[in-house]
Amino acid sequence: MPTKLLVGSGRLYLHDPGTAMPPIDADPVAAGWRDLGPIDGGIRVERDQTLEEHFIDDETGPIDVSRTSESLIVEASLVEPTLTNLGDVLSGSTPATAAGPPPIETLAGYRGATVAKHALLFRANSPEGPGLRGQTYLPRGYFAGDLGMAHKTDEHTIIPVQFRALVDEAASTSAERFGVTVYETL
Q: Is residue 73 part of a domain?
A: yes
The arithmetic mean of pLDDT across residues 99-110, rounded, is 83
Query: Mean pLDDT over all residues of the chain?
Result: 86
Spatial distance between the Cα atoms of 153 and 141, rounded to a whole number of angstroms:
32
The arithmetic mean of pLDDT across residues 103-113, rounded, is 81
Alpha carbon of 130 to those of 12, 25, 134: distances in Å? 20, 15, 11
Residue 16 is part of which domain span?
3-79+116-183
Q: Is residue 84 part of a domain?
A: no
What's the domain count of the chain? 1
Confidence of residue 154 (pLDDT cuts 50, 70, 90): low
Residue 154 in 3-state DSSP?
Answer: coil
Q: Is residue 110 part of a domain?
A: no
Spatial distance between the Cα atoms of 66 and 131, rounded to a whole number of angstroms:
40
φ, ψ for residue 9, nearest 5 deg: -90, 155
Confidence of residue 8 (pLDDT cuts 50, 70, 90): low
The tens digit of pLDDT for each residue in 42-94 reads 888 888 999 999 999 999 999 999 999 999 999 988 888 888 888 888 777 77
Q: pTM for this structure?
A: 0.82
Q: Is residue 88 part of a domain?
A: no
Please say whether the beta carbons of 134 and 184 come within 8 A. yes
